[in-house]
Amino acid sequence: MSTARLIDGKAASQTLVARVTEAVGRMKAAHDRVPGLAVVIVGEDPASQIYVRSKGERTREAGMRSDTHRLDAATSQADLLALVDQLNNDPGIHGILVQLPLPDQIDANAVLSAIDPDKDVDGFHVVNAGRLAVGLPGLVPCTPLGCIMLLKAELGDLTGLNAVVVGRSNIVGKPMAQLLLAESCTVTIAHSRTRDLPALCRAADIVVAAVGRPEMVRSDWIKPGATVIDVGINRVPSRDPVKAAEGKTRVVGDVAFEEAAAVAGAITPVPGGVGPMTIACLLANTYTACCRSMGIEPDALTL
């Protein structure tokens, strides 16, 4: 039995961050300007706290300005909108990210729609979704952007390949499908209502799993030699029953990794696959947004 090539997202993210850092250094030298990213977090969600701290550290390491706004869990929608407005009008801030989830009293769509689309480094604004759909330059959601970079680095030209995206979320599945289509793949978006999902996936040269169901994609869903991108990050009980009883967990993807790796041509592990690319793409988007605000063409950032 053959074993798939491992797609090393950690190494790829380090390459991308190094390219962003160099581009930021050139911008500073030529224009005396550094990109600025503002991250807004409302409340105390522990996972969000970890993500936000990590985003701030990576941003500064890349030579950029990083501001973190920590708001109380009881913050009103009006106060959050006022902060977004202030950041929209701050010329030193080129990227704005409002960490999700938001508390119940706040309508996330209203907040995301209030962000200036040219500073929307998450790529969640409807204007950026529209730009992606019609092929205009915009800001692309970080996770699918990272996935397409890994796929192009692994496979080169994607023209004519059959791609199945499992999952239809606005932040991963739909933009992922648009990016694959822009690379001239034949794209199918599958979801919980899809009939005979295993057979559909078995016809794919590329499978992108983004459903949030632990180890759902099995080896008999994979065409021998296909490329598998696993976007899932799921916490499940530890393999060891004693540790599981103590509440210990481990992280798995949406793909049953070991069995899928025996069939696939290449596969991303979890952790260490798509995950590390997401923050790297956030830095890339912040640099891109800064260049565009100055009317200059960003240096190409590829793996």
Q: Which residues participate in catalysis according to the annotation?
A: 55, 99, 122
What does the block give as tokens for 149? 């970079």
Single out the segment in contact with ligand GUN by CB under 6 A; choices: 67-75, 93-101, 127-135, 292-300: 93-101
Among 99, 178, 227, 268, binds ligand GUN (CB under 6 A): 99
CB of 227 to ligand GUN, least distance (A): 23
What does the block give as tokens for 64? 């950029």
Task: Identify which of residues 100 and 133 has a Cβ nearer to ligand GUN in the complex.
Answer: 100
Task: Identify which of residues 121 and 197 has a Cβ nearer to ligand GUN in the complex.
Answer: 121
Find, among 122, 119, 96, 124, the residue nearest to 109 by Cα.
124
What does the block give as tokens for 27? 């911008």
Within 8 A by CB and 6+ apart from 221, the residues are: 197, 198, 201, 202, 207, 260
Residue 224 CA from chain centroid, whole number: 27
260 binds ligand GUN (CB under 6 A): no
CB of 97 to ligand GUN, least distance (A): 5
Among 17, 24, 38, 97, binds ligand GUN (CB under 6 A): 97
Helical residues (DSSP H) of the chain, grouped into ranges: 9-31, 46-61, 77-88, 108-114, 126-134, 142-155, 173-182, 197-202, 241-245, 257-261, 275-293
Binding mask 40-79 for ligand GUN (x = CB under 6 A): ----------------------------------------
Among 34, 100, 153, 200, binds ligand GUN (CB under 6 A): 100
Peptide bond into 101 cis (omega under 30): yes
Provide the b/e sequence for 208-244 (b: ≥16 CB within 10 Å). Answer: bbbbeebbbbebebbbeebbbbbbbbbeeeeeeeeee
Task: Identify which of residues 98 and 163 has a Cβ nearer to ligand GUN in the complex.
Answer: 98
Within 8 A by CB and 6+ apart from 43, the residues are: 71, 72, 73, 75, 102, 103
Find, among 290, 295, 276, the residue nearest to 64 by Cα.
290
Peptide bond into 224 cis (omega under 30): no
Q: How many residues bind ligand GUN (CB under 6 A)?
A: 6
Task: Identify which of residues 118 and 122 has a Cβ nearer to ligand GUN in the complex.
Answer: 122
205 binds ligand GUN (CB under 6 A): no
Within 135-174, the residues that bind ligand GUN by CB under 6 A are 142
State which residue has the least CB distance to ligand GUN. 100
Distance CA(113)–CA(100), nearest Å, equals 14
CB of 142 to ligand GUN, least distance (A): 6
197 binds ligand GUN (CB under 6 A): no
Among 118, 120, 122, 254, binds ligand GUN (CB under 6 A): 122
Among 64, 98, 102, 139, binds ligand GUN (CB under 6 A): 98
Task: Identify which of residues 62 and 121 has a Cβ nearer to ligand GUN in the complex.
Answer: 121
102 binds ligand GUN (CB under 6 A): no
CB of 143 to ligand GUN, least distance (A): 6
- In the chain, what are the helix, strand and coil shares in percent, each to the nearest 5? 45, 15, 40
Task: Identify which of residues 65 and 125 has a Cβ nearer to ligand GUN in the complex.
Answer: 125
What does the block give as tokens for 67? 């501001």
Distance CA(95)–CA(285), nearest Å, equals 8
* Residues in touch with ligand GUN (CB under 6 A): 97-100, 122, 142
